[in-house]
Amino acid sequence: MPARGPKFFELDTRIGYRITPRAGMTIDVFGEIFNLTNHVNYAIPSGDQSNSAFLRYTSSLAGAVPRTGQLGVRLGF
């Protein structure tokens, strides 16, 4: 039976606010946080019994990011 890795978990969130300074114009301000819980998503461990890292988590998944955030502003007219 092959080794099974841990489940993938990532919680992303976005909050925003819209301002209308005058008719026909909007300003959107928003913030985004990726991997809010800062959970490490490990890659599937090695199933090779001759490997010194047999069934040990030694690396994270490709594409799994640590907690990151960004702010943005959008002007609509």
pTM of the model: 0.69
Please report whether residue 7 resides in a domain: no
Could you report the per-residue pLDDT of 53-73, keeping only the tens digit for each?
A: 787 777 778 778 889 999 999
Please report whether residue 53 resides in a domain: yes
Beta strands in 5-52 (DSSP E): 13-22, 25-34
Please report whether residue 41 resides in a domain: yes
Please report whether residue 70 resides in a domain: yes
Which residue range(s) make up the domain with 26?
13-76
How many domains is the chain built from? 1
Could you report the per-residue pLDDT of 6-62, keeping only the tens digit for each?
A: 788 999 999 999 999 999 999 999 999 999 999 888 877 777 778 777 877 777 787
Token duo for residue 68: 């990151």
Backbone angles phi, psi at 66, to 5 degrees: -75, 175
